Amino acid sequence: MNLDTNRHSVFKLYYHLILVIKYRRKVIDDNISDTLKKYFLNIEDDFQIKLEEWNHDIDHIHILFTAEPTTNLSKFINAYKSASSRMIKKAYPEIKDKLWEEAFWSKSYCLLTSGGATIEAIREYIKSQGETSEKD
């Protein structure tokens, strides 16, 4: 595993973000998804994040990204949702007809941490710490 670094730490922080269209309106096609992805890539550096994977369905998107320990995730997500909502409605004015009161994203979102080890494996590793030194 390649780890990320900054001046004071070593880390690998993966996040799985799911954003849903308000009232699950079916408005996302390949073109809209590509445009939303471009907006995401445009603000990566501002928030010290890096896109790892992107995909969509007709009413939501899935994003896998990495971040730094200092990244303010809620600020990033709110900035992305706000800017992408405005920009997507400007780029695709016909989309407004399919939305509820012009709201593009649902107010809520799902953000999950993700990594290479399962939670159970981490628990067992933590529980096992100090066992060998106690036997010596």
Residues acting as catalytic residues: 125
Burial of 109 (0-12, 13-18, 19+ CB in 10 A): middle
Is the sign of the CA dihedral 36, 26, 103, 81 positive or negative? negative
DSSP string, 21-55: BGGG-----HHHHHHHHHHHHHHTGGGTEEEEEEE
Contact 15, 64 (CB under 8 A): yes
